Structure 1
């Protein structure tokens, strides 16, 4: 009975602390900020975060120091992996060389390569832009701005890991046509990963004097440049899909607090950025 009462008391304490935090945010920065914080705390990533933290405290209270330290270690690692601060740092590290680049201001190019990954097939079978869809928007803009008359879409699906039955290059081509790029200006080539795509480009353009631009996400561009150099092809980087926000104003206090709470978006971003760093280490 005493143990059950202790658990109930502990849960009530957690609820009160959460209410105090949200209430304080409401008083200091308004209802919208409080709702944002509260939402992040009750989403799965947030629940795991505060559950592991208060579980560590509870284990300390009942004398389970080893278990408490293990849980606290998990909490620290989880906090870091889901931190908005970490994702901002990693993104900026990768994108910083390209922040001053303006792709629409380059001299006309012989061809623009759009690496696969900017589109997907929707549930209604309509090709649609995804989170990296700015790659395709930029390609269409460059065509309409007369920066190129030739767009090459890359990407072939990995059949064992894709049940849609359509290649990334097909999706990209369909979206570009819907954005006003004529079919005769679009070419499609294969490649199941970035390395294969760049190798295909090197075979397609053995003449080094050709001015070839490559569009991909800005955070992916360092890897692309490295692989292009290894493939012996000179490319002009055309970064799209920036994740770095412009430093127009300093972060607000509520933003700083929200960045501490792990979120699904931050976890996904950190995973993608760490994949880029690991690929560099592995030479991929």
Structure 2
């Protein structure tokens, strides 16, 4: 009963209704002997089915994330840990709060409190739709201080960094200026492969750390045949990372 209920619920969601509509249009085209149109609609249906399948999304992310190293338990503390931007958001009063990728900021604070890191470094910027400039570094600083990290253990990169490559280059310059030798880069597991590729291009020697465990492929459930937001999200994240890595951004 639970499986049937979830299946019906997924079919009544916008993606489910669109999927049913494509299936119906495909069958109608073939019944009308419009084979070219039917084949085209069938490809669209298959594409949506694969892109929106949660199993496919997790499988793609797992392949992207495999082989990521982790910080050894008995390793000496890092001199600095750069945390990729995007972990903060603003509430209705403009105060920094944890955002969608706030696990990056939480993991960084945890590592500092555990004595694994001596200094946290933040950066990143974004132009908002209303023209405002968001400074992710300053937002991260506020959140870390609220999590108990002292201000003198936080370094904010002052220059605006709008893409990942800008952040890597800025951190590389800061590392050379401070003469740090043992540093780390922290981001979401699915984002780290692109971060590492960019760091390699820029000659930045840093230990990669993930803020989320690598994706795990869930067991099959019948309602997963219906395209879902979770599947679309996972597939799009992987495509975005591959495209960004190819473009060197």
TM-score using structure 1 length: 0.79
Q: 1:151 aligns with which of 100, 105, 120?
A: 120
Q: 1:173 aligns with which of 141, 160, 163?
A: 141
Equivalent residues in 2 for 1:123-142, closer than 5 Å: 123-142=92-111
**Deviation digits for residues 12-44 of structure 1, max 9, x if unmatched?**
xxxxxxxxxxxxxx2xxxx2x333222221111
Measured at CA, do residues 265 and 106 of structure 1 come closer, stay the same or move farther in structure 2, by a change above 3 Å? farther
Measured at CA, do residues 222 and 64 of structure 1 come closer, stay the same or move farther in structure 2, by a change above 3 Å? same
Partner of 1:278: 243
Task: Show structure 1 runs of 5+ residues with no match.
Answer: 1-25
The separation in 2 between residues aligned to 1:103 and 1:223, in whole angstroms, is 22
Q: 1:83 aligns with which of 53, 57, 75?
A: 53
The offset of 1:111, in angstroms, is: 0.6
The separation in 1 between residues aligned to 2:77 and 2:226, in whole angstroms, is 45
Measured at CA, do residues 182 and 209 of structure 1 come closer, stay the same or move farther in structure 2, by a change above 3 Å? closer
Partner of 1:259: 224
Equivalent residues in 2 for 1:42-81, closer than 5 Å: 42-81=12-51
The separation in 1 between residues aligned to 2:94 and 2:127, in whole angstroms, is 19
The offset of 1:106, in angstroms, is: 3.9
Partner of 1:109: 78
**Deviation digits for residues 178-206 of structure 1, max 9, x if unmatched?**
21112221111141111000000111112
The separation in 2 between residues aligned to 1:185 and 1:62, in whole angstroms, is 70
The offset of 1:158, in angstroms, is: 2.9
Task: Show structure 2 runs of 5+ residues with no match.
Answer: none
The separation in 2 between residues aligned to 1:225 and 1:170, in whole angstroms, is 24
Equivalent residues in 2 for 1:3-22, closer than 5 Å: none
CA contact (8 A) 1:127 1:174 kept: yes
Larger Rg, first or second structure (1 or 2) = 1
Partner of 2:64: 94
The separation in 2 between residues aligned to 1:59 and 1:94, in whole angstroms, is 38
The separation in 2 between residues aligned to 1:106 and 1:50, in whole angstroms, is 54
- Is 1:235 matched with 2:203? no
The offset of 1:168, in angstroms, is: 1.5
Measured at CA, do residues 146 and 67 of structure 1 come closer, stay the same or move farther in structure 2, by a change above 3 Å? same
The offset of 1:139, in angstroms, is: 0.4
The offset of 1:227, in angstroms, is: 1.1
Larger RCO (alpha carbons 8 Å, 6+ apart): 2
CA contact (8 A) 1:85 1:260 kept: no
- Number of equivalent positions: 246
The separation in 1 between residues aligned to 2:4 and 2:130, in whole angstroms, is 40
CA contact (8 A) 1:112 1:213 kept: yes
Partner of 2:186: 215
